[in-house]
């Protein structure tokens, strides 16, 4: 007669239960590991996105102008991507490098020219400052009468000798203030001066007045060109295009290149 273990039939379910628990535990560990991997991946993705955004902002802030370093970077990229069986010829590479050097040289030359223009403008203004307090002849028939300078002097330009030149003084409204005659028999540039008195011998009011000249040329009456002297009160630097500007008493500014002559004050 054989003996049978009364608990043997109960041991199998216990082993299955243990195996099931072990499987559940393993699955739980695997799930936790997968969760950790997903969490780590999300964190790395967020760091990558932040770095990309920072790089994009930095690239936008960078200047869009190409420099010589950018040209050589492009050349290096071209050499690295060339066909090893058909490399770039030496003359082509030298031509490209020469082109890059030429572009960079032109940019440097433009910068030096701008600096030279600034230096020349400052030098011209310094030279023009010596005209302050002097009188300059300007191509205008308008003069200014003031208490400090009640007389207007000018020059009448004639194409040929004229026996008699009629001079008319007009105010800002065009009204005739005085008329007188000057001798133009010498021809060329004839000096003219108005004492600032009207036809009645009374001093005129302060302001701007025009000197008009008329004479007979080949038997026909013609208007003659008149230039007047003005007092220089100060000098402005101006720009590269205009050069120094001479500020004239009562008349405004005029370019230094437009001055016809300089006289004593």
Domains of the chain, earliest start first: 129-263 (2.60.40.4070)
pLDDT at 30: 42
- Helix, strand or coil for residue 201? coil
* Arithmetic mean of pLDDT over the chain: 74
For residue 140, count CB atoms less than 10 angstroms from its CB and return exposed for 0-12, middle for 13-18, buried for 19 or more. middle
Determine the Cα–Cα distance for residues 188 and 170; give it in Å rounded to an integer: 24
Determine the Cα–Cα distance for residues 237 and 246; give it in Å rounded to an integer: 9
Place of tokens 């950790």: 36
pTM metric for this prediction: 0.55
Determine the Cα–Cα distance for residues 255 and 239; give it in Å rounded to an integer: 11
Count CB atoms within 10 A of the CB of residue 189: 15
pLDDT at 64: 59
Token representation of residue 190: 């004839």
pLDDT at 65: 62
pLDDT digits (tens, 9 = 90+) for 129-168: 888 888 999 999 999 998 888 999 999 999 899 989 999 9
pLDDT at 45: 54
Count CB atoms within 10 A of the CB of residue 206: 14
Strands 243-248 and 220-239 turn out to be antiparallel
pLDDT digits (tens, 9 = 90+) for 84-93: 777 766 667 6
All residue ranges of the chain with pLDDT < 50 are 1-41, 43-44, 46-47, 53-61
SS (H, E, C) 92-134: HHHHHHHHHHHHHHHHHHHHHHHHHHHHHHHHHHHHHHHHCCC
Determine the Cα–Cα distance for residues 145 and 202; give it in Å rounded to an integer: 13
């Amino acid at each position: 007669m054989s003996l049978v273990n009364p608990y043997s039939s109960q041991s199998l379910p216990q082993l299955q239960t243990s195996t099931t628990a072990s499987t559940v535990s393993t699955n739980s560990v695997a799930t936790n590991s997968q969760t950790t991997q997903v969490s780590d991946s999300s964190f790395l993705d967020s760091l990558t996105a932040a770095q990309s955004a920072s790089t994009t902002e930095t690239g936008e802030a960078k200047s869009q102008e190409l420099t010589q370093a950018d040209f050589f970077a492009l050349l290096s990229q071209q050499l690295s991507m060339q066909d090893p069986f058909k490399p770039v010829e030496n003359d082509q590479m030298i031509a490209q490098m020469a082109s890059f050097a030429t572009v960079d040289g032109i940019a440097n030359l433009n910068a030096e020219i701008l600096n030279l223009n600034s230096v020349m403008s400052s030098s011209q203004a310094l030279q023009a400052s010596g005209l302050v307090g002097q009188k300059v002849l300007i191509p205008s028939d308008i003069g200014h009468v003031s208490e400090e300078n009640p007389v207007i002097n000018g020059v009448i330009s004639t194409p040929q000798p004229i026996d008699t030149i009629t001079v008319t003084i007009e105010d800002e409204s065009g009204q005739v203030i005085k008329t007188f005659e000057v001798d133009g028999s010498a021809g060329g540039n004839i000096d003219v001066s108005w004492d600032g008195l009207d036809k009645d011998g009374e001093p005129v009011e302060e302001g701007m007045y025009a000197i008009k000249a008329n004479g007979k040329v080949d038997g026909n009456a013609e208007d003659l060109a008149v230039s007047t002297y003005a007092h220089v009160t100060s000098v402005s630097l101006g720009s590269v295009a205009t050069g120094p500007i001479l500020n004239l008493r009562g008349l405004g500014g005029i370019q230094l290149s437009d001055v016809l002559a300089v006289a004593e004050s």
